[in-house]
């Protein structure tokens, strides 16, 4: 097996960041479920600022926000790839897409419970 890796170049790393931001931008423009997550993110951030949550609570909230958004991006990528590979309905592809969507749902429910646990002391 030959080592065909390219040498490290800052320009290549910057291109990688550019590609990643392009992907995020595409998802923001075209993935409606991501819009819901972003609206909820704004609500959480507003509440965090309003109630002046502790730094440790911010860390927890931001990790949950990042997890949900990352899960949605993974789900969108899996769905796009699956649709490209198999445009017709296929039961295996359908299960894969359902599992990816399920992962987002698990993360969103977990983040919601965490959010309630974090904010409850500030609300009472």
d(CA 59, CA 54): 9
Listed residue (79, 73, 75) closest to 101, CA to CA: 75
Residue 77 CB-half CA count within 13 A: 9
Segments making up each domain of the chain, as ranges: 10-123
Angle between the 55-85 and 32-50 helix axes, to the nearest 10 degrees? 180
Q: What is the pLDDT along the chain (124 residues), one digit of tens a residue?
A: 556 788 999 999 999 999 999 999 999 999 999 999 999 999 999 999 999 999 999 999 999 999 999 999 999 999 999 999 999 999 999 999 999 999 999 999 999 999 999 999 999 8
The whole-angstrom separation of Cα 92 and Cα 90 is 6
CATH class of 10-123: mainly alpha
């Amino acid at each position: 097996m030959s080592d065909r890796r390219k040498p490290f170049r800052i320009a290549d790393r910057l291109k990688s960041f550019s590609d990643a931001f392009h992907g995020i931008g595409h998802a923001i423009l075209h993935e409606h479920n991501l819009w819901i997550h972003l609206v909820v993110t704004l609500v959480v951030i507003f509440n965090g600022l309003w109630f002046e949550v502790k730094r440790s609570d911010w860390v927890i909230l931001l990790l949950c926000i990042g997890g949900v958004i990352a899960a949605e991006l993974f789900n969108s990528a899996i769905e796009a790839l699956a649709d490209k590979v198999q445009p017709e309905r296929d039961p295996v592809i359908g299960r894969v897409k359902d599992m990816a969507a399920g992962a987002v749902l698990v993360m969103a429910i977990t983040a919601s419970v965490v959010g309630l646990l974090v904010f409850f002391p500030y609300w009472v």
